[in-house]
Each structure stands twice: as structure tokens, then as C-alpha cells.
Amino acid sequence: MAGKVQDEIQQRKPHASVEEEALLNIIRTADALTRDFEDMLKPHGLTATQYNLLRILRGAGKPGATCSEIGERMVTKDPDITRLVDRMEKRGLVKRSRDGRDRRVVTTSITAEGLRKLDDLEAPVNKLPVQRFQGLSRQEILELIHSLETIRHRVP
């Protein structure tokens, strides 16, 4: 019997393994959830990467964070944090400052406008995963989390 992912991608040959089918399911699901999240953010003028940046900076507090610290904390890796910060600074959502002791160190922090943007998004962002995981028990969700973390930590 053909799996649903096999039908979705119109693959005629059977999967080479159940692991391949699982991988394709993860990729297709991640893509669907990412597009769903992006669609929710679009009316607010943000991408998922920009939203992630604002969340990181809110968590960093008043001291802010350097580009390397931001890069380490991103949910999805972005090769050019500097350009991302440039775009967000032009929109007034973040600001940069130089360290008083070491002028080479530049930190980025969230502005009041950036905090307002996050406040506006809090309810819809919190609602989205609850809607998408509806129908799964808490135990199933915890097992899914455990399985995905196990797989992710095996990737070099």
C-alpha cells in the first residue's frame, strides 16, 4: 500500500526504506508548517527568520546580543545575520550599539516598536501549534519531540 507522502509527491516506485519514507514525511511536514507560519506572519510584515530575531533579542534583554550570539540561537540557520539586522534596523525594530570597552563589539537590541510587534503576534503565534497538533495526545506529542530530538542530535 502506497503511503500518503508517496501519493503527494507522485512517486511511483516504493520507498527504498521506511527510514526514507519517514525522512520525506519530516521534510514535507516541516515545509507545510513553515509555510503556514510564514502565512500567519506575512500580514504583520515579518518572515519567520525576522520573527525569530526579534524573539532572540527580546530574550537577550537590555544588553542585547552580538551577531554571533544571534546566529547560535536561530531556530533555522541564516548565513548572513548582519544583513538581516540591517533590514530590521532600517524598519526601526532593532538598534545597534558599540561596546564602550571594546569598540569592535557591536550588539543589537530590540526597540519598543519591535516589542510591540511581538506583543501583537503573541496570541496568533501561541494558537498556531495548538491548532496544528490538535488530535494528538500530550503523550504522542512528547514522543514526537523525543524522537525528533534524537534524530537531530545524530546529524553532524
pLDDT tens digit sequence for 136-149? 999 999 999 999 99
Q: Region 70-98: what's the mean pLDDT?
A: 93
* Sequence spans of domains, the chain: 17-147
Its pTM stands at 0.87
Architecture of domain 17-147: Orthogonal Bundle (1.10)
Q: Region 13-36: what's the mean pLDDT?
A: 90
Q: Region 123-141: what's the mean pLDDT?
A: 97
CA distance 49 to 123: 18
